[in-house]
Copies of this chain bind each other. A is one copy, B any other.
Amino acid sequence: MKPVHAAPPTGRATLADIARESGMSRSTVSRALAGNGYVSPVKKQLILATAERLGYRVSTLARALRTQRSMTLGVLVADITNPLFPAIVKGIDEVVSAAGYTLFLCNTDEKSRRQQTLIRSLLDRQVDGLIMVSQTLSAESRKLLFPGPPCVFVNRRPARLSADYIGPDNLQAIALLLGHLHGLGHRRIAFIAGPSHSSTARERKDAYLAQMSRLGCAVPKGYLIEGDYQASSGRRAAERLLNCVPRPSAVLAANDFVALEVINALNAHGLSVPGDISVCGFDDAFGVHFTALASLQAKGLTTVTQPKRELGQAAARAMLMRLDQPQTAVCQTLLPVGLQIRDTSGEPAEMATSG
């Protein structure tokens, strides 16, 4: 009786089961359960009751195959253990899960091979959209993505490509930092940039040069160093900065990890922070922790706070909007950042002694 060509059975009740039990057709049952199309109230009641009784659960898979909408989104992050990213992912999740989407979360580890593989896998899974958090898009990845489902970029944006983008206001961030240091009396301010493949890093570097010039501060040879966001690059940069003539009185680091390692290196050379040199970070990666750690008399790092959760929420909203109306103009949003002044920035040594 049973067909011979059967796939392994699910064990779950299906529309057909409900149809049989309630004596109606699958179409009617489908309409009743999905809530679209006409179905008489009395039959609807019966169908819902039967579904309940049989413990019916829809197969999102089958629905997705039929409707060509999976109600899933892919999220790529560089490294979920970097405190910056969970906060962003949480913001995304809050917004899209309320809209019925579920997230595939993937780690790229900053590897372009892995990025490619993951994008391919997500496309094979027919995600309705992709959110790329701090991803530098490789040429291959780009080919995979365009044409393709909607894609929203957070933090980093792809070069020469008009796409939805949500990021921090890097110009403001640098202006805040330099304004703070300049106000304290610093004129010799060095900058450890992020890797040049990162659009965020490039924007900050350009902003640094522009603002320094606006403030009338020279940028001597050696003051601008390219690092890679890793703590280790902080150590190398610090060594080089100590050999600069004149020696900088303040250093902006690409992020907080780098900043802490710079401080370590300076201490190792017998220099105190901020007594001899001020150091500022970026991201406020340890935000909550610094506050919590106040109890341990920790010094706090002066740094820029990113609106992490809001970045995620905005990206999610941009995605939902794009899914709803694919043809609207791309949105590019910059969110304001904050300056968190703590204990690693102070007056330059010459002023402190002379004043």
Interface residues of A (CB under 8 A from B): 7-10, 57-62, 64-68, 70, 72, 79-81, 83, 85-87, 89-90, 93, 97, 102-107, 120-126, 231, 257, 260-261, 263-264, 267, 273, 286, 289, 292-301, 343-344
Contact = CB atoms under 8 A, between A and B. Distances in A.
Nearest to A57: B124
Of A7, A79, A81, A296, most buried by chain B (CB within 10 Å of CB) is A296
A260 B297 CA distance: 11
Number of this chain's copies in the complex: 2
Given A57-B124, A93-B105, A286-B289, 17 more contacts: A9-B68, A59-B124, A59-B126, A65-B65, A80-B89, A80-B90, A80-B93, A81-B83, A85-B86, A102-B104, A103-B104, A104-B104, A257-B292, A263-B295, A263-B296, A286-B286, A298-B299
| 4 residue pairs, one from A and one from B, having the closest CB atoms | A298-B298, A296-B299, A263-B295, A105-B105
Contacts of A300: 296
Contacts of A301: 296
A344 B80 contact: no
Contacts of A105: 89, 93, 103-105
A61 B126 contact: yes
A7 B66 contact: yes
A308 to B, nearest CB: 9
A81 B90 contact: yes
Contacts of A85: 86
A12 B89 CA distance: 30
Contacts of A67: 7-8
